[in-house]
Amino acid sequence: MTERGRRAFLAAATGALAATAGCSRLPFVGDGGDGGVDYDAERLQAVADPTAVTVSASAYPGPIPDDRATRHYERGRELLDGVPRDPAVPNEVVAARLARDRERAAERFADPPDGVSTLDDLDGWRYDRANAAEVRGAYEAATGDADPESLRERRAAVRDSLHAFRGDWAYRARSPLEAVLVHRRLELTVTRAGDAVVADGPFPADPKRAVSAVGSLAAAVEAARADAGDAAALRAAYREPSMPAHRSAVETAAVRLSAAVRATEARVYEYLDPAAGPENFQRNVADTPAEPLFRRAKSGARTAVDSAESALDRGEHARAVTAAGRALVSLVAFEAVVAAIRDGEYGMPASADAVVASREAAVDAVASAESVEPRPLADVLAVRARSMLRNGDVDLAGHPEYDRGDEPTVEDIRNAAGHYALTAHAAAAVEPVARRVTAELRAAAAGT
């Protein structure tokens, strides 16, 4: 594709995205505060369900080896077995803390893994393993058995394994899209391992007086070892000899999507400026859903753009593709928010019925976004919409995990209305952005 042709393609695609900007209107308009509306807070609290918002496991299309969770479990048990239930250390305060921390860590290893179906499950076992290493490291520091040289050797071994992993990284997969969906998670895991082996500070000169610091260093190295092992195991479980390499296509798509992000960002740049705020609109949006809606949409767009740029700068090209997709979703949603607020929308809901209707519209919008093909990509792109839907439900229902029984205030209702509005706008952007991402991957794979 020539540079002129590519620019024309970018312009056409961003124009198609812009066409979605006004398609997610919600049933409340007007300015001002609550206007004396007496909302049925109990009804609003009852209709919200923060726990219902879940993330599909289809976003990672590869197999998850059960033996990795078992390895984390066995290693965690091994580490804790080296720590007595009642540590005999001179400092009674440290001894009590070690005993308490060991007991809490051991609770996580009471039963072995019973099947691991998602990467989140695997992450949980890896976290528990690192926590066990922290207890063991702190105990060894307290007893004078901490060995900084052993820690350095383990850290160096992780670096070597990561170097070998990166050297054999061709992004093999059944398709360019699947290469992105599989290898973005491998990139995340490898980057996390690489970050963990960079010590936060030197090994304490007097470990007995810095047991927590030694424990943290030990936990970081253990987490890195676990991440490096998971990355290798996940790739081995997925990769087949016949799979083609897609590294070049993924890299090209990442660069092209980054250009699309910049082009879309330029359309709303004046509103993304740090100095821009709700007061810049030619209407008073204070104490209305428009105010938190604008702030949350702007913050999300800026963060998403930064994340996309960061992934590309680090050479994490699979993550750069999906991060650019998420940035496009956030930018298109932000553009829609700006247009709606300029048009006078998102005043206080006229009644509890209006809030319920806005929530129903948000729920339907998320369901529609999650049905977009290809589904695994839609799951990745819909994360913003799901997050905002859950935030809206938390505004109304509180935090059920903490048994908070407070009824939602007018401020809670205002924030919830803003969250539901952003949910709908972000969900509406998923389909056109998914089309754009898949088109770029196909074009890059075809060499056009």
pLDDT digits (tens, 9 = 90+) for 398-409: 765 555 557 889
| Rounded mean pLDDT, 11-29 | 40
Read off the pLDDT of residues 270-293 as tens digits, 9 standing for 90 and up: 999 988 888 878 888 899 999 999
Query: Same domain, yes or no, for 287 and 425?
Result: yes
The answer to whether residues 427 and 382 touch, using CB atoms and an 8 Å cutoff, is yes
pLDDT in tens, 47-105: 999 888 776 655 788 999 989 999 999 999 999 999 999 999 889 999 999 999 999 99
State whether 170 and 97 are in the same domain: yes
Q: Let me know whether 112 and 10 are in one domain.
A: no
Sign of CA dihedral 338, 344, 346, 347: positive
Choosing from 204, 238, 272, the residue where a domain stops is 238
Q: Is the domain of 166 the same as that of 227? A: yes
Lowest-confidence region among 44-48, 113-117, 119-123: 113-117
Local confidence band at 387 (pLDDT 50, 70, 90 cut-offs): very high
pLDDT at 107 over 80: yes
Question: E-strand spans in 73-198?
Answer: none
Q: How crowded is residue 194: how many other Cβ atoms within 10 Å of its Cβ?
A: 18
The pair phi, psi for residue 29, each rounded to 5°, is -140, 175
Are 281 and 182 within one domain? Answer: no
Same domain, 257 and 382: yes
**Residue 7, pLDDT score:** 34
Residue of higher predicted confidence among 166 and 18: 166
Which H or E run includes 290?
A: helix 290-313
Same domain, 108 and 138: yes
- Tell me the average pLDDT across 34-57: 79
Same domain, 202 and 263: no
Tell me, yes or no, whether 151 and 275 share the same domain. Answer: no
Confidence tier at 231 by pLDDT (50, 70, 90):
very high
Q: What is the pLDDT of residues 245-268, one digit of tens each?
A: 999 999 999 999 999 999 999 999
Domain stop point among 185, 206, 238: 238
Same domain, 78 and 42: no
Q: Give the tokens for residue 185.
A: 């998670």
Q: Which domain holds residue 293?
A: 3-60+246-446
The Cα 346–Cα 385 span in angstroms is: 18
DSSP helix/strand/coil, 12 = helix
Q: Are residues 301 and 356 in the same domain?
A: yes
- Could you give the CA distance from residue 298 to residue 331 in angstroms, rounded to a whole number? 8
- Is 325 found in the same domain as 290? yes
Domain count, the chain: 2
Domain boundary among 188, 220, 238: 238
Residue 18, pLDDT score: 41
Query: pTM for this structure?
Result: 0.87
Residue 77 CB neighbours (<10 A):
14
* pLDDT reading at 27 higher than 90: no
